[in-house]
A = this chain, B = another copy of it.
Amino acid sequence: MENEVRKDYLLNRYVIIAAERAKRPTDFVVKAAERYVDKDCSFCPGNERLTPPADLVYLPKDGNITKEKDSDGLRHKGWVVRCFANLYPALSPHTKEVTLQNSKLHVKREAYGFHEIVVESPNHTEHPNVARLRQLGLMFDACLDLLKEFYNNESIEYAQIFRNHRKEAGASLSHAHTQIIAMPMIPRIISDEIEGSNQYYEKEGECIYCRIIDDEGKGPHLIYEGKDFLIVAPWASVHPFEFWILPKRHEPDLLGVTDSEKIDFVKTLRISLGGLAKLLNDPPYNYGFHIAPKSNKENEFYHWHLEVYPKLSIWAGFELSTGIYINGTPPEMAAESLREPIKKEMDSLTI
């Protein structure tokens, strides 16, 4: 196969698929993650005083989950999920107003927002690739609870839910955790996707993601098809072994996910990250939810999904200067490599 330049489904983003020296899974040497449990991990049970008071804790009680908050004086114990403000927030509700512009060249706004940590499990190493399904479900529920709260704040327009796995992908602590940054603006990539999906709808009369699901669902980019979700290696993958989890039902808003979809999403997340970890020796990765912003007048043709980016290559001078990316692993090859390990994860779940 020759090298090709591919355009993203909807973004004005080009990727050079470097197929001539295509990198198979065995070409990536991923060192084993450091497996030790930090003795003074501030996310571990017993160390709740090392973090700000929790904004949300899930406490098991009589077979159910009750939801509580810490106060300055009180730190709840025995939690199964725990959420609190990042000690070093990128955006914070405690910002002073700043002058919006001090010259034609210098435009700024206050760093207002929320930056929340979701500790996914009391078990330090219960990452999604090995987590119990029930635990993953609680983690996902907590993200949705926070999202709902942020979207109730009149100043917040978007909340980015994301995860950094391993130090090489930017995780400064190894305890399993997710982050949410809620902000008063719609980030560029999301607004570009919404614009692109609106344009596609105007032209073709359908949601582009629904079209992706139809087309890729029967082609070489399909990795796995479950009840409510598809795992797909996208046509113009920027990252080696990149994959997306797409809900089959058209739904812009993550808060619109049904109970039955929740269960299937968590399963799909578990097997996809499990398969990735098996294939590539638990590689570093980042993932981010792509969801409709709060004001949903313009968003009806958007379609929420999750994008997972294994961190196996370096963006160098070319990528940083041009915005054109070079991906050494064609997505068709990524899909072929990921299919078997992900199917095995599914099989082992259902035994």
Contact surface of A with B, Cβ cutoff 8 Å: 2-7, 9, 12-14, 16-18, 20-21, 88-92, 95-96, 98, 103-111, 160, 162-164, 168-171, 179, 181, 183, 185, 187-190, 192, 204, 208, 211-212, 215-216, 235, 286-290, 307, 309, 314-318, 320-324, 326
- Residues of B close to A92: CB separation below 8 A: 3
CA distance A109 to B5 in the complex (A): 5
* Main DSSP-derived SS at the A contact region: mixed
Specify how many copies of this chain sit in the oligomer.
2
Q: Is the CB of B168 within 8 A of A317?
A: no
User: Do A104 and B211 have beta carbons less than 8 Å apart?
Assistant: yes
Closest CB of chain B to A186's CB: distance in Å? 9
Q: Contact between B321 and A160 (Cβ–Cβ < 8 Å)?
A: yes
Q: Which of B12, B164, B287 contacts A188 (CB 8 A)?
A: B12
Q: Please report the C-alpha to C-alpha distance between residue A265 and residue B259 in the assembled complex, in whole angstroms.
A: 62
Contact: B106 with A3, CB < 8 Å? Answer: no
The residue from B16, B96, B163, B212 contacting A91, defined by CB atoms under 8 A apart: B16
Q: Name the one of B109, B168, B208 contacting A314, with C-beta atoms under 8 angstroms.
A: B168
Q: Is there contact, CB below 8 Å, between B9 and A318?
A: no
Q: How far is the CB of A29 from chain B (nearest CB, A)?
A: 13
> Which partner residue on chain B sits nearest A109 by CB separation?
B5
Cross-chain contact of A88 among B20, B106, B290, B322 (Cβ < 8 A): B20
The reply to whether B314 and A16 form a contact with Cβ atoms under 8 Å apart is no
- Please, which residues of chain B bring their CB within 8 A of the CB of A216? 105
Beyond A315-B170, A324-B188, whether A212 also contacts B20 by CB under 8 A is: no
